[in-house]
Amino acid sequence: MLDLIQTLKNQALHQISACHTNDELEEVRVRYFGKKGEITKLLKKLPIINKSERKIAGQNLNEIKDLLLKEIERKKADIEKEIYQNARFDPTVPGIEPQIGNTHLITCAIDEIYEVFAKLGFSRARYPEVEYDWFAFESLNMGKGHPARDEWETFFVDAPDDKKYGEIVLTPHTSSGQVREMLRRNSTPPIRMINIAKCYRRQISIRHLVMFHQFEGLFIDKGISITHLKGTLDYFAKNFFGEKRKTRLRPFHFRFTEPSFEVDISCGVCNGTGIDKENSKCKLCKSGWLELGGAGMVHPVVLKNGGIDPNKYTGFAFGWGVERTFMMKAGLNIPDIRILYSSDLNYLKQF
Ligand code: PHE
């Protein structure tokens, strides 16, 4: 055994010194120290050789193991030094451009939306995404089991109910911030809030996402009427979409506004005519109008829940999807809303 150890040592030293690359060196290492390597095999044999030889062989083997491993490390350093010295600097090679990140287009849209309303004196608010049933539904005039709740396909959180505020949900709309804002302002109008936040609904399709954003306006003061709502919406349409755009209100129903409306904006492709340049039906809107979202005059019950006297004060509210509003602005015919969150950089970089 002792002879064999000596032979292996000389052989290995020779092979190490003959290496020119890291790969070759690694091969040599595995040949001796890998699972089935020569030295490993001998180490495994130690317990079965006779006692008189075992002690000295063990010592020898360990010494040689240390020596060879050190030698491999030294050789590795030599090889690396050589690679470094041989590398020449070529000033004509094009540089590697660092990746520069930029803001996601929905974040840009949120900033832009807020800027428009900030000019009208609305201040930005954000309320919890994980919300009590009471703020998301009950305080908005949708009692337990009311069928109107079906509209908001809600995720319920598996957590103990609160005695006062009920079950916990992922808020399905930003209207949950209405009563919260009234309470935060100590129920003292004037209140001008723009709440832009994430919402969650159990829906997924080319037009719906489980997570999306809404922006919610709330304006409460003495003598607020539908004309203020219409004026605010028109101001937003002109500033966000362009001078020529108009809005229209269509009667609708929400439990938390009375009267309620759906808001449409004139189509930017056919200028609200419904007829395109080739004299056929506009492919984007088909009618001259595009649907933006809901709005209405705050229901007296909601004002009361926020501690505000509906005989003294009135207000309006509106709530629309950020993604949809953004897509309309850009005149983008995004075939699938999900692409906005697909992390497809080739797509997102276009904006
Ligand atoms: N919260 C309603 C929705 O999600 C929109 C809305 C907001 C309607 C405010 C009226 C007033 O559809």
- Extract the tokens encoding 318: 């509106």
233 close to ligand 1 (CB < 6 Angstrom): no
Mutation choice for ligand 1 from 175, 181, 212, 219, CB with most ligand atoms inside 8 A: 175
Which of 23, 58, 87 is the last residue in one of the domains? 87
**In this structure, are 202 and 77 located in the same domain?**
no
Q: pLDDT class for 54, splitting at 50, 70, 90?
A: confident
Residue 245 phi/psi, 5-degree rounding, is -80, 145
Q: What is the CATH number of the domain that holds 321?
A: 3.30.930.10
pTM of the model: 0.72
268 close to ligand 1 (CB < 6 Angstrom): no
317 close to ligand 1 (CB < 6 Angstrom): yes
Measure the CA–CA gap between 201 and 318, rounded to whole angstroms: 18
Question: Regarding beta strands 289-298 and 314-321, do their DSSP bridges make them parallel or antiparallel, or are they unpaired?
Answer: antiparallel
Asked if residue 97 belongs to a domain, the reply is no
Asked if residue 188 belongs to a domain, the reply is yes
Mutation choice for ligand 1 from 254, 261, 303, 325, CB with most ligand atoms inside 8 A: 254
In this structure, the residue with its CA closest to atom 7 of ligand 1 is 319
**Is the CB of residue 259 less than 8 Å from the CB of residue 297?**
yes
Asked if residue 70 belongs to a domain, the reply is yes
> Which residue range is the domain that position 111 belongs to?
105-348
Query: What are the pLDDT digits (tens) for 60-78?
Result: 889 999 999 999 999 999 9
Q: What pLDDT score does 303 carry?
A: 98
The total domain count for the chain is 2
Ligand 1 center to residue 39 CA distance, Å? 76
Ligand 1 center to residue 51 CA distance, Å? 88
**In this structure, are 68 and 109 located in the same domain?**
no
**In this structure, are 262 and 299 located in the same domain?**
yes
**In this structure, are 46 and 152 located in the same domain?**
no
**What is the rounded average pLDDT of the residues 330-344?**
77
Asked if residue 78 belongs to a domain, the reply is yes
**In this structure, are 73 and 122 located in the same domain?**
no
**In this structure, are 286 and 162 located in the same domain?**
yes
**In this structure, are 157 and 302 located in the same domain?**
yes
**Peptide bond just before 172 cis, omega within 30 deg:** no
Q: What pLDDT score does 99 carry?
A: 83
**Is the CB of residue 246 less than 8 Å from the CB of residue 270?**
no
**In this structure, are 71 and 126 located in the same domain?**
no
**In this structure, are 81 and 148 located in the same domain?**
no
> For ligand 1, what atom is nearest to the CA of residue 178?
9
Asked if residue 82 belongs to a domain, the reply is yes
Nearest to 62 by CA among 18, 9, 15, 12: 9
**In this structure, are 62 and 172 located in the same domain?**
no
Query: What are the pLDDT digits (tens) for 224-275?
Result: 999 999 999 999 999 999 998 999 999 999 999 999 999 999 888 788 888 8
Asked if residue 94 belongs to a domain, the reply is no
Asked if residue 96 belongs to a domain, the reply is no
Phi-psi sector, 264: left (phi>0), alpha (psi -120 to 50), beta: beta
Is the pLDDT confidence value at 330 over 70? Answer: no
Q: pLDDT class for 87, splitting at 50, 70, 90?
A: confident
**What is the rounded average pLDDT of the residues 174-184?**
98
**Is the CB of residue 136 less than 8 Å from the CB of residue 172?**
yes
Which of 87, 121, 140 is the last residue in one of the domains? 87
Which of 55, 87, 119 is the last residue in one of the domains? 87
**In this structure, are 74 and 132 located in the same domain?**
no
Q: What pLDDT score does 233 carry?
A: 96
Asked if residue 323 belongs to a domain, the reply is yes
**In this structure, are 322 and 289 located in the same domain?**
yes
Question: Regarding beta strands 257-266 and 247-254, do their DSSP bridges make them parallel or antiparallel, or are they unpaired?
Answer: antiparallel
302 close to ligand 1 (CB < 6 Angstrom): no
